[in-house]
Structure 1
Amino acid sequence: MGGTRTALVLGATGGIGGAVARRLQAEGWTVRALHRDPAAVRREGDGLAWMRGDARDEAAVTQAARGVGLIVHAVNPPGYRDWDRLVLPMLGASLAAARAAEARILLPGNVYNFGPDAGPNPDEDAPQNPLTRKGAIRVVMERRLEEAAQAGVRSLIVRAGDFFGPGATGNTWFSLFARRGRPVRRLWYPGPRGIGHQWAYLPDLAETMVRVAEREAELPAFARFHCGGHWDADGTRIAAAIARAVGRPDLPVRRVPWGLARLAEPMVPFLREAREMLYLWREPLHLDNRRLVALLGAEPHTPLDAAVAATLADLGCLPAGAPAASSLAGVS
Structure 2
Amino acid sequence: MSKGKVTVLGSNGHLGNAAMVAFRDAGWQVTGLGRSNRRPVEHTRFIAGDADDVAVVKAAIVDADVVVHGLHLRYDGWGNGRAEAQLQVVIDAMAGSGKTLLFPGTIYNYSAGDRIIGPDLRQRAEAKRGDIRIRLEQMLKAAAEAGQFQAIILRAGDFYGPGNRGEWFEQAMLMEHAKGRLYHLGDLDMRHCWAYLPDLGRAFAALGEQRAQLAAFENRHFAGHWVTHRQVMTAIQQAAPAPLAVKPMPWWLLRALGLVNPVMRDIYRMRYLWRNEMELTDPRLHALLGPDFATPFDVAVRVTVEELLGKAVKKAA
TM-score (norm 1): 0.86
Residue equivalent to 1:63 = 59
2:289 to 282, 296, 301: 296
Residue equivalent to 1:185 = 180
Residue equivalent to 2:15 = 16
What amino acid sits opposite 1:58 in the alignment? Answer: V
Residue equivalent to 1:323 = none
Residue equivalent to 2:119 = 124
2:185 is equivalent to residue 214 of structure 1:
no
Deviates more, 1:18-27 or 1:47-56: 47-56
2:20 is equivalent to residue 25 of structure 1:
no
**2:65 & 2:168 partners in 1: Cα distance?**
30
2:47 is equivalent to residue 54 of structure 1:
no
CA contact (8 A) 1:58 1:92 kept: no
**1:267 & 1:147 partners in 2: Cα distance?**
38
The Cα of 1:196 is off from its aligned counterpart by 1.5
Deviations 1:43-78 (A, max 9, x none): 4x6233221222221121111110211111111113
2:151 to 148, 152, 155: 155
Q: How does 1:286-325 map to 2 (within 5 A)?
A: 286-298=279-291, 300-317=293-310
The Cα RMSD (Å) is: 2.4
**1:104 & 1:297 partners in 2: Cα distance?**
22
Q: How does 1:225-244 map to 2 (within 5 A)?
A: 225-233=220-228, 235-244=229-238
Change (3 A) 1:147 1:299: farther
What amino acid sits opposite 1:122 in the alignment? Answer: I
2:275 is equivalent to residue 275 of structure 1:
no
The Cα of 1:36 is off from its aligned counterpart by 2.3
CA contact (8 A) 2:185 2:248 kept: yes
CA contact (8 A) 2:161 2:198 kept: yes
**Structure 2 unaligned runs (5+)?**
none
The Cα of 1:194 is off from its aligned counterpart by 2.7
Deviations 1:165-187 (A, max 9, x none): 0132314455312259x647211
**1:10 & 1:231 partners in 2: Cα distance?**
28
**2:285 & 2:311 partners in 1: Cα distance?**
34
**Structure 1 unaligned runs (5+)?**
321-332
Q: Secondary structure at the match of 2:219?
A: strand
**2:312 & 2:219 partners in 1: Cα distance?**
41
What amino acid sits opposite 1:69 in the alignment? Answer: D
Number of residue pairs matched?
310
What amino acid sits opposite 1:36 in the alignment? Answer: R
Residue equivalent to 1:115 = 111
Change (3 A) 1:167 1:109: farther
Query: Percent identity of the aligned residues?
Result: 33
TM-score (norm 2): 0.90
Q: How does 1:28-43 map to 2 (within 5 A)?
A: 28-38=27-37, 41=38, 43=40
